[in-house]
Amino acid sequence: MNCEEAEILLHALIDGELDAGHASEVEAHIAECPRCAEAFAAYRQMSQAIAAADLRYTAPPALRRRIEASLPQARAPSRRAVLRGFAMGSAVSALAATGLVAIVLRNDDEQRIMSEVVSAHLRSLQAGHLTDVISTDQHTVKPWFNGKLDVSPPVIDLTGQGFTLVGGRLDYVDARAIGAVVYRRRQHVINLFIAQTPTIERRPAKTETIQGFNIRRWSEGGLNFWAVSDIGADELAEFGEKFQTAMQANKEG
């Protein structure tokens, strides 16, 4: 690969748009070309700074109301009418209806965060970006997060159980700083993203696949967890279960 190609492709690498083959070609070029390496580092920093600064605008409430009002309301059954329809079935289905609305909304948000988590995972696989603190010792990785996040993410060494702790990293998801604990399974990287959640509700693990990556997501003890990797769903489930068991044991012990 020459510099001209790399100048364009290094952006795709930053944006996590390259497949593994092209990504490693660009990385190989960066590794031996100081000029492109410098550009890559500068652009990556710029991207991170932009992601960290919230550059989005919020639509004024008056605009939202105007648009709402301009939609043909009369012909549309209002949400209340829809709910009444459910309620006519039984009290239980009315409850189910409100639950459904909540689930739909939450999923929408969740889907977006999931794809951000996958992007963060892809970014982490780029040259020299996997870990901010490199250590196989949980007592080194855990204190490293102190003062960097609004939560203290649980760092659990699962080396004895086939998942090697590699280190930790600060990442950005949903426009917030988020903790990432990095594990390895053979040659595969597992990023465990940990963020605070407003509820202490315990949510069972769910696995999804986005862009070929498996994501196992669960909530426990006021924290949201997303484990992302290219290992199989069964192995990722094994990881999640072992982590949760160990976390439970830590709490009790």
Partner 1 sequence: MPVTSSNDDPDKARRFREAALPYLDDVYTLARYLLRDPADAEDAVQECYLRALKHFDTYRGPAMKPWLFAILRNVCRAEFARRAAAPSAGIDDADEAAEQAPLWHETPETPEAQVLRDRDAAAIRRMVEALAEPFKETFILREINNLSYREIADTVGAPVGTVMSRLARARALLRSAWLAVEEQPK
Considering the rule CB under 8 A, would residue 93 count as an interface residue with partner 1?
Answer: yes
> For residues 108 and 150, what is the distance between their CA atoms, to the nearest angstrom?
25
Token output for 171:
């990442």
Please identify which residue in 3, 31, 85, 95 interacts with partner 1, judged by CB under 8 A.
85
Least distance CB 71 / partner 1 (angstroms): 5
Please identify which residue in 3, 20, 46, 92 interacts with partner 1, judged by CB under 8 A.
46
Please identify which residue in 3, 31, 42, 102 interacts with partner 1, judged by CB under 8 A.
42
Please identify which residue in 56, 80, 139, 186 interacts with partner 1, judged by CB under 8 A.
56
| Distance between first and last Cα of the chain | 54
Least distance CB 227 / partner 1 (angstroms): 22
Are 151 and 188 in contact by the 8 Å Cβ rule? The answer is: no
What are phi and psi for residue 183, nearest 5 degrees?
-125, 160
Considering the rule CB under 8 A, would residue 15 count as an interface residue with partner 1?
Answer: yes
- Strand-by-strand arrangement of the 164-173 sheet: 133-134, 164-173, 176-185, 188-196, 223-229, 213-220, 203-210
Which residue number, 61 or 160, has a Cβ lying nearer to partner 1?
61
Considering the rule CB under 8 A, would residue 11 count as an interface residue with partner 1?
Answer: yes
* 223-229 and 213-220 strand pairing: antiparallel
Least distance CB 175 / partner 1 (angstroms): 10
Considering the rule CB under 8 A, would residue 176 count as an interface residue with partner 1?
Answer: no
Please identify which residue in 3, 20, 52, 200 interacts with partner 1, judged by CB under 8 A.
52
Please identify which residue in 19, 32, 57, 199 interacts with partner 1, judged by CB under 8 A.
57
> For residues 105 and 8, what is the distance between their CA atoms, to the nearest angstrom?
37
> For residues 110 and 103, what is the distance between their CA atoms, to the nearest angstrom?
10
Are 85 and 79 in contact by the 8 Å Cβ rule? The answer is: no
Residue 207's Cβ-side half-sphere holds a number of Cα atoms within 13 Å equal to 17
Please identify which residue in 43, 157, 177, 242 interacts with partner 1, judged by CB under 8 A.
43
| Binding interface with partner 1 (CB under 8 A) | 7-9, 11-12, 15, 17, 42-43, 45-60, 63-64, 66-68, 70-73, 75-77, 82, 85-86, 88-89, 93, 104, 108, 116
